[in-house]
């Protein structure tokens, strides 16, 4: 089973609508990273969250880490076609040196 669970696995939204992607673990997350991947390409770093309750924004994308540091959400406001792609969360879990990744969420924006 995945150490990081992302939901939903796939999302289709109308352009201009808001959307949320979740990333959940049963263990404490020491550093939560959100990446975006255009189809068939490498990963682009979006944001990193470390502290419980932390929230960061970049343009129309906001990411939060809950107080218990076991869940993060990525929220996109007024979605645009440029937001389409695969969103992955990655995290260090309870002292592990490596990052583990969720399975990804494929986002499609319909015009």
Partner 1 sequence: DVKVTQSSRYLVKRTGEKVFLECVQDMDHENMFWYRQDPGLGLRLIYFSYDVKMKEKGDIPEGYSVSREKKERFSLILESASTNQTSMYLCASRRAAGGNYEQYFGPGTRLTVT
Residues within the interface to partner 1 (CB under 8 A): 2, 4, 6, 9, 31, 33, 35, 40-45, 48, 50, 88, 90, 92, 98-99, 101-104
Closest to partner 1 by CB, 17 or 58: 58
Minimum CB distance to partner 1, residue 83 (Å) = 19
Please state whether the peptide bond connecting residue 5 to the residue before it is cis, i.e. omega within 30 degrees of 0. no
Residue 4 CB, shortest distance to partner 1, in Å, is: 8
Q: Which CB, 54 or 77, lies closer to partner 1?
A: 54
> Which residues of the chain form beta strands (DSSP E)?
5-7, 10-14, 19-24, 29-37, 43-49, 55-58, 61-65, 71-76, 85-93, 100-101, 105-110
Nearest Cα to Cα of residue 69 among 7, 4, 19:
4
Which residue lies nearer to partner 1 by CB, 41 or 55? 41
Tell me how far, at minimum, the Cβ of 32 lies from partner 1, in Å: 11
The CA distance from 74 to 57, in Å, is 10
- In the complex with partner 1, the residue whose CB is nearer, 16 or 52, is 52
8 Å CB contact between 13 and 64: no
Q: Least distance in Å: CB of 78 to partner 1?
A: 27
């Amino acid at each position: 089973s995945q150490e990081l669970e992302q939901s939903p696995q796939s999302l289709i939204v109308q352009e201009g609508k808001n959307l949320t992607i979740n990333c959940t673990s049963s263990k404490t997350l020491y550093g939560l990273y959100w990446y975006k991947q255009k189809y068939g390409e490498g990963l682009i770093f979006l944001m990193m969250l470390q502290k419980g309750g932390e929230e960061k924004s970049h343009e129309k994308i906001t990411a939060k880490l809950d107080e218990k540091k076991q869940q993060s959400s990525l929220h996109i406001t007024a979605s645009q076609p440029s937001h389409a792609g695969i969103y992955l969360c990655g995290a260090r879990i309870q002292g592990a040196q490596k990052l583990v990744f969720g399975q990804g969420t494929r986002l499609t924006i319909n015009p």
